[in-house]
Structures are given as structure tokens and as C-alpha cells.
């Protein structure tokens, strides 16, 4: 809340800066890797295009995994 | 002595959400842990992943709701727990992120090494939370260093005490057994047979660990002269059900075995919550510093409003989740994935 609950008031008193930095790096790495994987898949599907045919193991939403 | 007030109602609701979470995600953690054990080739592993595919995310919503209910009803509990257990909860979160993505991505490419990496993610992403939830809850029940201002002043190593680690091993074994029985029920052929054999081997260690953990919990409670409001019948029944599971699995009553492990998980979680009541996070420094359902709660206006929201929406959520299990009730086999003649 502006002027009432300032950022400095809501900082966790027991979590250190080092811990926050560690998790910031951790989340950045995890999401960075996942973003790269995502781009790889998008590129792959874009290149393959649509064949108009659905293979047997793609039939049915329940068996999509 | 249980009071019938709004604070107790919200404590009960948080308890119910964690019971639901451990019952449901318990078996999908177990199935994820068993992926490399019961899945000998890629098709086997797809059988396992397809039993979880339609349900794992809805199972996980229970813990998100539990966290949300804690945040809204008991903000002081939420603040102390999430700041105090910062790094362990970060690990759980990363495991859950990687595991969720793994389920969705493993079939998106046919290269064996691609699938092997996601299989590892499913295994570790399932095993780590199955262990760490037990460690976290054992610490909450045992009491952690909370000072007069209600803040956690211990460190990471304080959380890795023998009782908490024993609690972690217990949930790991219990969830793996629960998952083995789930796979015995939900798959067919060799996968189901391997899951049956895993269950057969796990019932005795799981029953021993649960019995030990509940006894230790009881001894801790007696030592500080505060065991909450646990009627002895509840933990005893939990242990008896796992002993019954030894026989049920041997006789191949997988359905009843699954009910037994599920009920044992529910009763164990109930024991922990009753042991806490009316505290939410006891202090190991002094009882006066305990966080309770009163000093950690929101205002009664908030609790009242949210109680009506919960009354309106919980039945809807339960109904659609039950329906999704009904839709996907059939066994998954290799033949389901590769229909004959194709």
C-alpha cells in the first residue's frame, strides 16, 4: 500500500540476502532452461508442419503422454 | 479440547486440504518414483505416465489451495513457515515445476535421450517432494525455534534432525507403496505385475516406518506434556491399516490395499494436525512463543467471508475432480497405447 506498507516494511526478517540471491539464480536457471526447451519444440513443430495425418499413438487426449 | 469456532473450522479446512493432497499426490509421487522400476521400456513408461497424465495437476491443486487457505486464514503461520523453511520449500517448488513439465514434454520428441532426461526429472521430481514433505511436517509438529516475535530463528541444519529425517523416510515409503498399489489397479500386464511385486516388498518396511514414526511422534508429545487432542485410536488405526495392507497385497486385493494405504496416509496426516491443535507452529524455545490458531489468524470478518466462499466452491471442485477420475477409470495397458492392427 502506497506510503502505508512500504517494501522495506514487508521484507522477511529471517531470510538473508544470500538465500534470496540463491533462489533468484535457481529460478532463472530453471526457467531459462525450460524456455530453451520450449523454443526447441516450437521450432521443431514449425519445421515439421502439418501432415494432415494423425498417427495411432496420437489418438485420444488421454493417451497423449 | 476442540473448540467449535471459526478459527478451528479454518484449521480443520487446512488439515483436510493437506489430507487430500497427501492422499492424491501421494500415489502420483509414488508412481513417478516407480517409473524406472516398473517401466522396462519406453512403452511401459508411457503406460505409467498416461495413468497420471489426466490427474496429476488436479492432485497438485490441493497443496496450492492449502497454501492459499493458510495465507488467507493464518497469515502469521504462512509468513513464519514460508520464510523459515525458505530453502526446503524452494527445492520442493523446483521439483514440482520440473516434474510437471516432464509429464507434458516427454512424449513431444521420440529421441531416447530426450525421454530419458524427462524420466529422470519425473523420478527426482517425485522422490524429492515425497521425502521433503515428511521432513517439513515432522519439523512443524516437533516444534522449531520460533522467537517472541513469531519468527523462525533456526537454520537449515536444525530442520535436518533425526526425527524429521525419519518422518521424511516414512512419507517416502508410504507414498511409494501407495503409488505401487495405484499402478497395480490402473495398469495391466507386466507393468501391473511389477508394481504388485514392488508393493509386496514395500508393505513390511512401510508399516515398520509408520509405526516407528507415530510412536516417536507420541513420545515427543509426551515429553513436552502436550499431545494436542489426538484420540489414540486414530494413529493406532493408521498403523493397523498398513499391517492389514501386508496381507491385502499378498492376497492381491489391490483395491482394498489402495484404500488401506490411502486411509493410513489420511489418518497419519490427521494425527499430525490433531497433535498440533490448537497450535499451528509450536516453538521449541518456549510454549509462550507458539503460533496458534488465534494469534496467527486473520480477522473474523475475513474468516467468515472465506467460510462462505469455501462452502460454495469446495463441493463443485470435489464433484468435477471425482468426475475426472470416473472418466479415466479404465486400466492403461500397452495395447491401449498401440491398438491392435495398427
pLDDT in tens, chain B (342 residues): 788 899 999 999 999 999 999 999 999 999 999 999 999 999 999 999 999 988 999 999 999 999 999 999 999 999 999 999 999 999 999 999 999 999 999 988 889 999 999 999 999 999 999 999 999 999 999 999 999 999 999 988 999 999 999 999 999 999 999 999 999 999 999 999 999 999 999 999 999 999 999 999 999 988 887 767 888 899 999 999 999 999 999 999 999 999 999 999 999 999 999 999 999 999 999 999 999 999 999 998 999 999 999 889 889 989 999 998 988 888 888 888 876 654
What sign results for the dihedral spanned by CA atoms A29, A31, A35, A37?
positive
Instruction: Please judge whether B46 and A65 are an interchain contact, meaning their C-beta atoms are less than 8 angstroms apart.
Output: yes
Which residues from A are below 8 Å from B50, CB to CB?
62-63, 65
At residue B268, φ and ψ (nearest 5 deg) are -65, -45
Are A30 and B153 a contacting pair at CB < 8 A? no
pLDDT at A62: 45
Q: Quick one: angle between helices B254-276 and B233-250, nearest 10?
A: 160
Give the model's pLDDT for residue A10.
83
Residues of A in contact with B105 (CB under 8 A): 37, 41
CA angle B104, A64, B42 (to 5 degrees): 80
Write a three-state SS string for A3-39: CCCCHHHHCCCCCCHHHHHHHHHHHHHHHHHHHHHHH
Residue B224 CA: distances (Å) to CA of B216, B218, B289, B291? 13, 10, 14, 16
Residue B279 bridge partners (DSSP): B292
pLDDT band at A61 (very low <50, low <70, confident <90, very high): very low
Phi, psi angle pair for B16, to nearest 5°: -60, -40
Contact B258, B190 (CB under 8 A): no
Location of C-alpha cell 516444534: B143
Q: What is the dihedral of CA B275, B202, B248, B254, to 10 degrees?
A: 100
Contact predicate B143/B284, CB 8 Å: yes
- Beta-carbon count within 10 A of B325 CB: 12
Q: Does B98 touch chain A (CB under 8 A)?
A: yes
- Measured in angstroms, the CA of B167 and the nearest CA of chain A are apart by 25
Specify the 3-state DSSP secondary structure of A43: helix
User: Can you list the domains of chain B with their CATH numbers?
Assistant: 6-330 (1.20.1630.10)
Q: Write out the H or E segment, with its range, that includes residue B281.
A: strand B279-281
Res. A52 pLDDT band, cuts 50 70 90: low
Percentage, residues of chain A above pLDDT 90: 42
Chain A residues with CB under 8 Å of B153 CB are: 14
Query: Contact A14/B152, CB-based, under 8 Å?
Result: yes
| Better-predicted residue by pLDDT, A1 or B110 | B110
Q: What is the value of pTM for the model shown?
A: 0.93
B152, B153, B155, B159 alpha-carbon torsion, rounded to 10°: -50
Rounded Cα distance, B34 and B122, in Å: 10
Q: Among all residues of chain A, which has the CA nearest to that of B109?
A: A41
pLDDT band per the 50, 70, 90 thresholds, residue A33? very high
Among chain A residues, CA nearest to B149: A13
Q: How many other C-beta atoms can be found within 10 angstroms of the C-beta atom of residue B196?
A: 19
State the pLDDT confidence band at A63, using cuts at 50, 70 and 90.
Answer: low
B88: cell is 526446503
Q: Do A44 and B109 touch (CB under 8 A)?
A: yes
Give residue B330's pLDDT: 87
Cβ within 8 Å, pair A41-B83: no
B208/chain A closest Cα distance in angstroms: 36
Rounded distance, CA B150 to CA B152, Å? 7
Distance CA B176, CA B29 (A): 7
Mutate which: A9, A14, A59, vs B, most B CBs within 10 A: A14
Give the pLDDT confidence score for residue A59 in this predicted structure.
52
pLDDT at A54: 60
- Given a contact cutoff of 8 angstroms between Cβ atoms, the answer to whether B97 and B90 are in contact is no
The rounded distance, in Å, linking the Cα atoms of B48 and B261 is 19
Instruction: Tell me which residue in B79, B97, B104 faces A30 most closely, judged by beta carbons.
Output: B97
- First-to-last C-alpha distance (Å) of chain B: 64
Q: Which of B53, B75, B122 to mutate to test the interface with A (most CBs of A within 10 A)?
A: B53
Helix/strand/coil for B341: coil
> Does the beta-carbon distance from A26 to B337 stay under 8 Å?
no
**pLDDT at residue A51 above 90?**
no
What DSSP line would sit under B196-225, residue for residue? HHHHHHHHHHHHHHHHHHHHHHHHHHHHTT
Nearest CA among B11, B28, B21 for reference residue B63: B21
Judged by CB atoms closer than 8 Å, whether chains meet at B107 and A64 is answered as: yes
Q: A15 vs B94: CB contact, 8 Å cut-off?
A: no
Q: Is B150 helix (H, G, I), strand (E, B) or coil?
A: coil
- Record the cell numbers describing residue A3, joined without a space: 506510503
Q: Would you tell me how many other CB atoms lie within 10 Å of the CB of residue B216? A: 17
C-alpha span between A50 and B8 (Å, rounded): 57
ipTM value: 0.83
Amino acid at each position: 500500500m502506497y506510503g502505508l506498507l512500504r517494501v522495506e516494511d514487508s521484507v522477511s526478517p529471517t531470510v538473508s540476502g544470500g538465500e534470496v540471491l540463491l533462489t533468484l539464480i535457481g529460478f532463472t536457471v530453471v526457467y531459462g532452461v525450460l524456455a530453451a526447451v520450449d523454443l526447441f519444440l516450437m521450432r521443431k513443430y514449425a519445421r515439421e508442419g502439418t501432415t494432415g495425418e494423425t498417427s495411432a499413438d496420437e489418438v485420444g487426449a488421454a493417451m497423449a503422454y | 479440547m476442540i473448540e467449535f469456532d471459526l478459527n478451528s473450522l479454518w484449521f480443520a479446512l487446512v488439515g483436510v486440504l493437506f489430507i487430500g493432497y497427501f492422499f492424491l499426490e501421494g500415489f502420483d509421487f509414488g508412481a513417478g518414483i516407480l517409473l524406472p522400476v516398473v517401466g522396462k521400456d519406453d512403452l511401459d513408461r508411457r503406460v505409467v505416465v498416461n495413468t497420471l497424465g489426466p490427474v496429476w495437476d488436479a492432485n497438485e491443486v490441493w497443496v496450492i489451495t492449502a497454501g492459499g487457505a493458510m495465507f488467507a486464514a493464518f497469515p502469521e503461520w504462512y509468513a513464519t513457515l514460508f520464510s523459515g523453511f525458505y530453502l526446503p520449500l524452494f527445492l520442493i517448488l523446483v521439483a514440482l515445476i520440473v516434474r510437471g513439465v516432464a509429464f507434458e514434454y516427454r512424449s513431444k520428441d521420440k529421441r531416447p535421450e530426450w525421454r530419458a532426461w524427462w524420466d529422470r526429472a519425473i523420478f527426482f521430481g517425485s522422490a524429492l517432494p515425497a521425502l521433503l514433505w515428511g521432513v517439513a511436517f515432522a519439523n512443524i509438529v516437533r516444534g522449531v525455534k520460533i522467537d517472541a516475535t513469531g519468527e523462525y530463528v533456526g537454520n537449515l541444519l536444525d530442520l535436518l534432525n533425526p526425527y524429521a529425517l525419519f518422518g521424511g523416510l516414512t512419507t517416502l515409503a508410504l507414498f511409494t507403496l501407495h503409488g505401487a498399489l495405484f499402478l497395480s489397479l490402473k495398469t495391466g500386464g507386466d507393468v501391473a505385475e511389477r508394481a504388485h511385486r514392488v508393493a509386496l516388498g514395500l508393505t513390511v518396511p512401510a508399516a515398520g516406518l509408520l509405526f516407528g514414526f507415530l510412536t516417536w511422534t507420541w513420545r515427543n508429545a509426551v515429553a513436552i506434556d502436550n499431545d494436542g487432542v489426538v484420540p489414540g485410536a486414530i494413529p493406532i488405526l493408521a498403523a493397523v491399516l498398513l499391517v492389514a495392507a501386508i496381507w491385502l497385497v499378498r492376497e492381491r486385493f489391490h483395491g482394498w490395499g489402495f484404500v488401506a494405504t490411502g486411509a493410513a496416509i489420511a489418518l497419519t496426516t490427521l494425527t499430525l494436525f490433531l497433535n498440533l491443535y490448537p497450535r499451528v507452529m509450536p516453538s521449541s524455545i518456549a510454549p509462550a512463543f507458539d503460533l496458534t490458531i488465534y494469534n496467527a489468524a486473520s480477522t473474523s470478518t475475513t474468516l467468515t467471508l472465506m467460510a462462505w466462499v469455501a462452502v460454495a466452491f469446495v463441493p463443485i471442485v470435489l464433484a468435477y475432480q471425482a468426475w475426472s477420475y470416473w472418466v479415466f477409470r479404465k486400466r492403461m495397458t500397452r495395447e491401449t497405447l498401440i491398438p491392435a492392427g495398427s
